[in-house]
């Protein structure tokens, strides 16, 4: 009897899509032989087997049974989803990519377009009554609102930048003036060309906040949006970002992680990659990888050929990453985690290779 490499499982909308239900199905069927029965619907159990792939890669005939092993990857899908897309509009996104001579924030909409087209290709997306027929119209409205936001932000920042430039040039203009003699100590401190922002209180006057706060705020918005959408569905918060973020508050991040896991919310990242680095362009990929890994989400890098890759069960890369859910997917194929574990804890690495499904409970 052949062994199963992956199994596709459908979660019914009448049951809560919790990790407990998914893990219970996996442990109850370990070592058993299953087949896809199109005439049977396991509504009582909440999980239905709708697809199966053999390890040898050969097609599976109708009614053929395959054994569920410890390395079999269960992939969970559902009839409805809660997908919350968040656009990162932090100051680093409005930088210039010197290699392609484009503005980074313009590419956010391109990433959003590819993601929406990818997940809605053969399915119906309920959040905004969005499907593959009206996704272009929805993107047009989003682009209009995004351009209005960019124009309003530019108009708002012109006065702030003007005040900053004026005060920044002031010490140089007064360097040889009589004011330098009258106010010796103050002029001497300003003669270095540094602007004392604490005296002017520009940051507080214009309502700026620390950059690390914006990242936590985006995740909180995702939590709020998920609570406003229908329950008993697979949920995913997708953050479109350039991965430039300051070190967040540890207590706030711990609270957000607990809330994401309590509500069974996955957090995925779509990074707006650049071919060339700009001044101050320092991505924090490790933080985003950790957040995606700890919530069973995905960390995706900007790639033009995403929609051209066909994966098992007829899904593209966006559907595989954002619509399907699996316990083992985060560890399998992650070369960094495998090498790190083998270096510092080889015994645990060998254990995971044999029984790594236990790692995620």
Q: Where are the domains of the chain?
A: 4-78, 81-151+210-330
| Runs of H (alpha helix) within 201-272 | 202-205, 211-228, 250-262
| pLDDT recorded at residue 135 | 77
Q: What DSSP designation does 328 have?
A: G
Handedness of CA 131, 132, 133, 139 (dihedral sign): positive
Per DSSP, what are the bridge partners of residue 86?
239
Nearest to 268 by CA among 331, 323, 307, 340: 323
Tally of CB atoms within 10 A around 104: 21
pLDDT at 121: 61
- Count how many residues are written for the chain: 361
Q: How far apart are CA 98 and CA 221, in angstroms?
A: 32
Alpha-carbon dihedral sign for residues 317, 321, 326, 331: positive
d(CA 185, CA 183): 6
d(CA 186, CA 191): 9
Q: 145: which residues sit within 8 A by CB, 6+ positions away?
A: none
The per-residue pLDDT for 204 is 44
Which tokens hold the place of 108?
């956010």
Rounded CA separation 88/272 (Å): 10
d(CA 192, CA 170): 11
What is the residue-level pLDDT of the chain in tens, covering all 361 positions? 888 888 888 887 766 667 777 888 888 888 888 888 766 554 556 788 888 888 887 888 888 888 888 888 888 887 777 778 887 777 777 776 666 667 777 777 777 777 777 776 654 444 456 667 777 887 888 788 878 877 877 777 777 777 766 766 666 555 555 444 544 444 444 444 444 444 444 444 444 555 556 778 888 888 887 877 777 677 788 888 777 776 777 788 888 888 888 887 888 877 766 555 555 556 677 777 788 887 888 887 765 555 555 566 667 777 777 777 776 655 545 566 667 667 777 776 676 665 544 444 4
* Cross-sheet strand order for the sheet of 47-54: 47-54, 4-11, 73-78
**Residue 107 in contact with residue 93, Cβ under 8 Å?**
no
Where would I find the beta strands (DSSP E) of 55-159? 66-67, 73-78, 81-87, 96-97, 102-103, 124-125, 130-131
Sign of the dihedral defined by the CA atoms of residues 348, 349, 350, 356, in that order: positive
Rounded Cα gap, residues 54 and 6, in angstroms:
7
Q: Are the CB atoms for 47 and 11 separated by under 8 Å?
A: yes
What letter would DSSP give residue 231?
S
pTM as predicted = 0.50
CB atoms within 10 A of CB 47: 22
According to CATH, the topology of domain 4-78 is Vcp-like ATPase; Chain A, domain 2 (3.10.330)
Which tokens in the block code for residue 354? 């044999």
Quickly list H helices, 135-207: 135-173, 178-182, 184-190, 197-200, 202-205
Q: Which two tokens stand for residue 12?
A: 């019914």
Rounded to whole angstroms, the Cα distance separating 314 from 50 reads: 13
CATH class of the domain defined by 81-151+210-330: alpha beta
Query: Residues near 225 by Cβ (< 8 Å), separated by ≥ 6?
Result: 84, 237
Strand, helix or coil for residue 9: strand
Whole-angstrom Cα distance, residue 65 to residue 52? 9
Strands 81-87 and 265-271: unpaired
The first and second tokens of residue 13, run together, are 């909308």
CA proximity to 23, closest of 46, 51, 54: 46
């Amino acid at each position: 009897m052949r062994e199963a490499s992956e199994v596709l499982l459908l979660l019914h909308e009448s049951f809560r899509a919790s990790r407990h239900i998914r893990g219970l199905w996996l442990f109850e069927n370990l070592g058993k032989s299953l087949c896809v029965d199109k005439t049977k619907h396991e509504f009582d159990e909440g999980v239905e087997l709708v697809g199966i792939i053999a390890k040898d890669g050969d097609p599976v005939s109708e009614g053929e049974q395959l054994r569920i092993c410890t390395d079999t990857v269960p992939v969970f899908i559902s009839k409805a989803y809660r997908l919350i897309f968040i656009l990162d509009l932090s100051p680093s996104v409005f930088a210039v990519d010197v290699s392609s001579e484009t503005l980074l924030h313009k590419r956010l909409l391109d990433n959003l377009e590819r993601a929406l087209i990818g997940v809605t290709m053969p399915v119906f997306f309920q959040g905004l009554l969005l499907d593959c027929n009206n996704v272009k119209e929805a993107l047009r409205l989003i682009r209009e609102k995004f351009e209005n936001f960019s124009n309003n932000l530019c108009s708002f920042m012109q006065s702030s930048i003007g005040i900053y430039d004026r005060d920044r040039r002031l010490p140089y203009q007064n360097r040889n003036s009589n004011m330098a003699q009258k106010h010796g100590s103050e002029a001497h401190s300003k003669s270095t060309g540094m602007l004392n922002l604490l005296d002017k209180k520009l940051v507080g006057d214009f309502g700026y906040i620390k950059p690390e706060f914006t990242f936590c705020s985006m995740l909180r918005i995702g939590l709020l949006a998920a609570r406003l959408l229908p329950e008993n569905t697979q949920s995913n918060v997708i953050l479109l970002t350039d991965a430039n973020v300051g070190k967040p508050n540890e207590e706030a991040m711990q609270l957000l992680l607990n809330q994401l896991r309590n509500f069974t919310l996955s957090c995925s990242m779509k990074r707006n990659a650049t071919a060339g680095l700009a001044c101050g362009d320092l991505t924090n990929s490790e933080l985003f990888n950790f957040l995606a890994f700890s919530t069973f989400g995905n960390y995706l890098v900007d790639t033009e050929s995403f929609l051209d890759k066909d994966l098992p069960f007829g899904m593209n890369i966006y559907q595989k990453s954002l619509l399907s859910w699996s316990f083992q997917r985060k560890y399998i194929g992650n070369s960094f985690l495998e090498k790190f574990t083998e270096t510092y804890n080889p015994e645990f690495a060998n254990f995971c290779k044999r029984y790594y499904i236990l790692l995620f409970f």
